[in-house]
Amino acid sequence: MSSTIPALDSKRDSVGARLRALLALTVAYALLVIPVIISGKGGTNEAGDARQYHEPVIETMVEQWPSPDIVNYRSTTSPGYHLLMAGLMKLTGAETVRAPVVRLANAGLTWILVAAVFWWASGFCGAWLSLALTAPLLLSSYTLGGGIWLTTDTPAWGFIALAVGGSIATQRITPARLGLLGLFATLAVSIRQVHVWAIAPIGLLAVLSGPLRGWVPRWIRVGDDTTRASWGRFAWGLVCALAPAALLAYFVWICGGLTPPEYRDKHDVGANPATFAFALSLCAIFGVYFLPAAIDEIRRGALKNKWLWLCVGIGLLVAIVPATDFVRIEHADGTRWNPRDNGWLWKPIVKMAPDLFGRTSVVILLLAPLGAGVVWLLRQAAVSAGRGAPANVLLLTMLGWLGAQSMNSLAWQRYFEPMILMGLIWLAAMALPRGTEQRRIRWAVAGALVLAGFQALLVGVTLYREVITRG
């Protein structure tokens, strides 16, 4: 079978092919972020957050070094990112937080996100197809904004991509692998405490590496059953899985809560029930472009499957029961905050569209069921390709992420888009095993590139235009 995509018809891409594709991705990323870094311009929300919150925190920690205050600082997140950047400034002698060495280090942390998503996807579908699938994440305004300006979102997502991808995309469960995954998850929690949910897939690997693995249902049994099971390896796996939780427990102990005291009345004031419907709506918007990966399932009659319509029904339910309209909340002291006021889906689309009964967004009502159906179709395609276990673990892991994210009062798009794109890219990669017919591959590539074009248009309007006109 001839192929226009290098190495796709081989059983396994060489490491060299994956590295060449990764190099191409890296060059594209560098061309997108480094010119703006060199310009020193701002203008976007990320730039505003960096200058209002993160840069002052880093500068204060530099002044307080070697004993920075990690309790009373002006950020809602755990202090790992700020400590790292402050340490880098002390190590390199950088005089300002906007020095090139600091901003390039931040860009490198965000690069981890793009590189990790690509690398684990290429293990499923090959290097060059994975490159096309990853393009929408590369061109996301949140990815590029996080790479250009000093914020905590994308560096944390990079370590999450390493931890979750490493839990589902390789076979052998070794002590070294468990240790690395635990380290990645702990680093993610040190940057953003909400990511403690990443202990779940690592905990599953811990169970699978021990004598209790027979208790694990086969439909979520990732890894190689030939891995030698032992109580020692199981205990080590639990230590690795619980390390992020231990770090979070320490943070809660010293701060007296999940966030630093100064910001507890903004992020830590109760759950946001719109989280699940909003996430499914983004799955609909992005997921339709990945549906060519599931075209064979649709041809085989998947649209008539009762489980598909059950998922659609669940999506409809989570869009109806909680309030999903665009809201603003005003405190008794007159201060206002916007739990659903970040990102182009909330504003302007949901904000401008009519709602039902003053509480249910028509947009969310239509998109959430569609998103649930799209996710089920991609998952079913992965099952048919023999990747049912990693697909199921990925979806369960994402459900854990949503549960943790719903505890944040703010349902801003920047908290959702990276993880949703990550999950959709990996599901599509699982659904496209090597040897897939070329017509299906071409449609999958076309869908991903169209979405990448849509993302490029958005990033031009929301990021680069702001840099040029306001920076």
Q: What does the domain layout of the chain look like in residue ranges?
A: 13-151+449-471, 172-269, 270-436
> Crossing angle, helix 141-148 and helix 100-125, to 10 degrees?
140
User: What is the token pair recorded at 107?
Assistant: 């860009």
Query: Comparing 76 with 238, which gets the higher pLDDT?
Result: 238
Q: What is the mean pLDDT of residues 176-180?
A: 96
Task: Give the DSSP H or E segment for 239.
Answer: helix 231-255
DSSP of 14-51, one letter per residue?
-HHHHHHHHHHHHHHHHHHHHHHHHHT---SHHHHHII
Q: What is the mean pLDDT of residues 91-97?
A: 91
| Distance, CA of 414 to CA of 64 (rounded, Å) | 31
- DSSP at 409: S
| Distance, CA of 220 to CA of 209 (rounded, Å) | 14
The beta strand positions in 60-121, using DSSP E, are none
Residue of 85, 120, 90 whose CA lies nearest to 104: 85
pLDDT, position 9: 36
- pLDDT grade for 13, boundaries at 50, 70 and 90: low
Contact 230, 171 (CB under 8 A): no
Backbone angles phi, psi at 356, to 5 degrees: -100, 130
Predicted confidence (pLDDT) at residue 30 exceeds the cutoff of 50: yes
Predicted confidence (pLDDT) at residue 11 exceeds the cutoff of 70: no
According to DSSP, the residues that pair with 361 across neighbouring strands are: 355
pLDDT, position 21: 96
High-pLDDT (> 90) share of the chain, %:
68
Residue of 190, 122, 10 whose CA lies nearest to 426: 122
Residue with token string 């990102």: 343
Average pLDDT, the chain: 89
Question: Cβ neighbours of residue 469 under 8 Å, at least 6 residues apart?
Answer: 43
> Crossing angle, helix 15-39 and helix 141-148, to 10 degrees?
60
Residue of 206, 167, 169, 204 whose CA lies nearest to 185: 167
Residue with token string 């989280």: 275
Contact 194, 402 (CB under 8 A): no
CA dihedral (251, 253, 259, 260) positive or negative: negative
The string of pLDDT tens digits covering residues 209-232 is 999 988 999 899 987 766 678 899
According to DSSP, the residues that pair with 356 across neighbouring strands are: 360
Contact 17, 127 (CB under 8 A): yes
pLDDT, position 329: 58
| Distance, CA of 99 to CA of 89 (rounded, Å) | 9
Question: Cβ neighbours of residue 185 under 8 Å, at least 6 residues apart?
Answer: 159, 160, 163, 195, 198, 199, 202, 241, 243, 244
Amino acid identity for residue 49 in this structure = D
Predicted confidence (pLDDT) at residue 138 exceeds the cutoff of 60: yes
| Distance, CA of 253 to CA of 357 (rounded, Å) | 43
Predicted confidence (pLDDT) at residue 296 exceeds the cutoff of 60: yes
pLDDT, position 4: 38
Contact 141, 459 (CB under 8 A): yes
Upper half-sphere CA count for residue 20 (Cβ side, 13 Å): 11
